[in-house]
Amino acid sequence: MARTPVVAAGGIVLKTVKTPLIAVVRLRKRNEWVLPKGKLDAGETPRDAAEREVLEETGHDVSVHEFLGTLIHETRGRSRIVHYWRMEAGGEQIREPMPDIKSVDWLPLDDAMGRLSREHERAFLETVGPIALQAAVLAGKTRRSRAKQGAPERRKVRRPLAPIPSIDEAVQAPLQAAPEPAMEQGTHAPVAGEVVEIDASACSDNSEIAVFAPTVEPEAAPTARARNLLQRMRDWLRRAA
């Protein structure tokens, strides 16, 4: 019988400075550098778990933004499903990291990828890291633009009351069907639950094969859905073998 997959959540955590920096944490027991993440508590949503785990592992209060994607991999014969969000850390640490964390480091994207100990996390960060950085830049520009504009001054304008039309003057506008949006030929829209494959050669360790799922933000995922996703992954692995 297949073991129930472990569901976890975490963040690609950015610190906004001249060169944006990404958080990586060092595990005390294994002495490995990893992305901040952790398992869901009972009744907890993936997003809430991601925010809590990042606070516990980095010691920073964060704001949670876009959902970036899901990483699925095998660890010691058990599947692990990890959902990630883009996050921004504010200011200094508000608490010490949890005892399981030996240290926290903030690095540029390329250095963060090089620091990570696990190949599947390096491949994942290489994919979603540039997206997170671009989203952070756009969000910063939007905030600065709004700050410059300021709140628009509102003035009360008295408008003359329009006379109520008589029944004879009422006109019914004919209903028109809304035009259907044009779709480019060959365009494929991702479907929730569809698994997107990556080259298995990205991970030289055969005990850990990484699969990326499309960026559809998860809700409180039931166990049956997690098992279905795991079965799709196993089918792909058998075909690849």
Residue-wise pLDDT tens digits, 37-85? 999 999 999 999 999 999 999 999 999 999 999 999 988 888 999 999 9
All residues at 6 or more sequence positions from 184 whose CB lies less than 8 Å from its CB, including other chains: none
Question: How high is the pLDDT of residue 44?
Answer: 97
Q: How far is CA 118 from CA 27, 98, 190, 228, in A?
A: 12, 21, 27, 25
Question: How high is the pLDDT of residue 212?
Answer: 63
Question: How high is the pLDDT of residue 149?
Answer: 80
Cα separation of 232 and 137, whole Å? 36
Question: How high is the pLDDT of residue 145?
Answer: 82
Q: How far is CA 101 from the centre of its chain?
A: 22
Which residues in the chain land under pLDDT 70? Answer: 1-2, 150-216, 219-241
CA angle, 204 as apex, 129 and 125 as ends, to 5°? 5
Residue ranges of domains in the chain, CATH in brackets: 6-141+192-240 (3.90.79.10)
